[in-house]
Structure 1
Amino acid sequence: MKQPLPILLSTLLVTTSAAYADSPWSVAGGVIAVDSPYANTDTKVMALPMVNYQGEKLTLRGYTLDYTLLQQHGFSWSATLAPGQFFDSSDSDNPAIKALNERKMSLYAGTKVSYAANFGRLNASVTHDILGHSDGLKFNGDYNYSIIFSKELILTPFIGVVINSSKVSNYYYGVAAGESTSYAPYQLGSTVNYNAGLLLRYQLNKNWHLNGLVKYTQLDTDIEDSPIVDSDNIATTMLSVSYQF
């Protein structure tokens, strides 16, 4: 099954960021395991290649693009572009799930603000599905604080929230009228998912870095109650190695 990409991207955004070399370019390869909330769909383990670029205004991290519009005194405002989640129903072992329509990948564009200080970093973004699959909005907010044990080892705990508009919630977790002969139509309102986790970054040498992540996402009760969902949470683990030129 193709896994919800916001989970993957939030992982990649932090664990592939580079901070120890002069070059703006880095590459990374990782293995990630993500639980599926959809009924009778196994945890997916995937290998993901990544290319990262950190310029003066333009930033590419994994599969997300940011362009800084304003930056001063720890505050930044940027335009952002990122793919969203998707679900191939044929990956489920449940015939009723297999018969559902595919939930296609969306592309979200919008604006993001960040503030960094000695107490940590706050991020918030509002984006819209510009491909029109769900034609909905998302709000993402998170807080993280890096604990520097040494030059080599940094641990970063984080907490976050993702708010999906009713259009996004229904497209990915609802059942449309006439879509299924097994499930009654199911409609959701806006949904709120909470997450928390821990990132680890270890500097092997000037160019090589080892990154690890564990993350837990608590799903909204409306998502839990969907007939096509059989879990109230999603667990994510990841291990990656990055090289900065």
Structure 2
Amino acid sequence: MRSKEDSPQAGHCRSNANDGAPRAIGPYLLALALMTVAWLAAGSAMAQAPGAKPRSSLGVAVVALKSPYAGYGTDTVAAPIISYEGRRFHLRGGSIGYKVFDTEQTEVSLMASPYMMRFKRKDSDDLQLRQLSNRGFSAMAGVALRHNASWGLVQANVQAEVSGHGGGIAADAKYAYPLPTGRVTLMPGIGVNYAGSALNDYYFGISDAEARRSGLARYRAGSGVSPYIDLTAVMPLGTHWTATASLRRSVLSDAIKDSPMTRGDHMDAAALSLSYGF
């Protein structure tokens, strides 16, 4: 296995034909937008009083995202916010859950969700990455925990890939604490995301055949941990309406940073939303 520095012409074979031109919003960007909207909607829910239950809501968000894949720029897209909270079932972002344990402070749910990652070679301006195979969405299933108390809120989930892309495990854990400042509640958070070697290799590995086609180094990605920090600001606009703004920075794991498919060592996201809760 070679590093990205061993790849002939790596990073020097990029097309500039589309520089400055509008980019079409592809499925990969939409998936990341839904991921960010889910995080943004969760931040709004976390800003409620301890013990309060999330509300169903409808709204719209504007999301700016930077992909870790080489040749992808920062894109902006509008996306809907749809959240449903039933007695047992809930829909939050792109995930569906069924509550198996539910008290005023603690919720445990079985969940299914898409793994919010996709690579489409035609969406990259890097000529070498255009020689690679596409990576599709993965379906995940597992269990999620949510605990809301006076000292803050903890969310965590563990899921397994079930769509036939090689298997693998993903997990996420986050702690956040609401800070009321007049009409606005600030919600700083810190978390960590884990992706198993099978998932990372599917999205960031390079096979022998791809290496021969592209000139990039063959790469087998291992498991990795990506810490992140975020800040959400929530402002109620009356009884039902809520405005939310969020920023997040994720530090890419070594397994992702070392891939010849990526550039940089972090990924940023920002979002603004307006939603109606009921």
Q: Is the partner of 1:78 in helix, strand or coil?
A: strand
Contact 2:37 2:79 in 1 (8 A): no
Distance 1:117 1:8 in 2: 24
2:175 to 140, 143, 165: 143
Residue number in structure 1 paired with 2:143? 111
Shift in Å at residue 179 of structure 1? 1.8
Q: Which amino acid aligns with 2:39?
A: T
Q: Which amino acid aligns with 1:90?
A: K
Query: How big is each residue's C-alpha offset from its partner over 1:95-127, in whole Å with a ceiling of 9 and x where there is no partner?
Result: 111121111011111001222211111121110
Change (3 A) 1:74 1:16: closer
Tell me the C-alpha RMSD between the 2 structures: 2.3
Please state if 1:222 is matched with 2:255.
yes
Residue number in structure 2 paired with 1:209? 242
Residue number in structure 1 paired with 2:220? 187
Shift in Å at residue 15 of structure 1? 4.2
Residue number in structure 2 paired with 1:55? 86
Shift in Å at residue 71 of structure 1? 2.1
Distance 2:44 2:114 in 1: 17
Change (3 A) 1:90 1:119: same
Distance 1:157 1:116 in 2: 15
Distance 1:44 1:101 in 2: 22
Shift in Å at residue 23 of structure 1? 11
Change (3 A) 1:35 1:23: closer
Residue number in structure 2 paired with 1:168? 199
Distance 1:219 1:210 in 2: 29
Q: Which amino acid aligns with 2:240?
A: N
2:162 to 130, 144, 159: 130
Structure 2 gaps of 5+ residues are 1-25
Query: How big is each residue's C-alpha offset from its partner over 1:67-89, in whole Å with a ceiling of 9 and x where there is no partner?
Result: 11012362221111111121212
Distance 1:204 1:13 in 2: 15
Query: How big is each residue's C-alpha offset from its partner over 1:137-183, in whole Å with a ceiling of 9 and x where there is no partner?
Result: 10111111111234x42111111111101000101111122123211
Contact 1:113 1:123 in 2 (8 A): yes
Please state if 1:95 is matched with 2:127.
yes
Distance 1:74 1:108 in 2: 26
Query: How big is each residue's C-alpha offset from its partner over 1:45-72, in whole Å with a ceiling of 9 and x where there is no partner?
Result: 1111121111222221221222110123
Change (3 A) 1:161 1:9: farther
Q: Is the partner of 1:179 in helix, strand or coil?
A: helix
1:11 to 4, 14, 39: 39
Contact 1:16 1:52 in 2 (8 A): no
Distance 1:223 1:23 in 2: 34
More strand by share: 1
Give the alignment of 1:54-73 within 5 angstroms: 54-72=85-103
Residue number in structure 2 paired with 1:36? 67
Residue number in structure 1 paired with 2:18? none
Distance 1:10 1:104 in 2: 20
Query: How big is each residue's C-alpha offset from its partner over 1:24-43, in whole Å with a ceiling of 9 and x where there is no partner?
Result: 53211011011111112111
**Runs ≥4 in structure 1, deviation > 3 angstroms?**
3-7, 15-20, 22-25
Distance 2:44 2:149 in 1: 21
Q: Is the partner of 1:178 in helix, strand or coil?
A: helix
Change (3 A) 1:7 1:159: farther
Q: Which amino acid aligns with 1:14?
A: A
Distance 1:115 1:216 in 2: 23
Q: Is the partner of 2:210 in helix, strand or coil?
A: coil
Equivalenced residue count is 244
Q: Which amino acid aligns with 2:42?
A: V
**TM-score scaled to structure 1, two decimals?**
0.91
Distance 2:43 2:216 in 1: 39
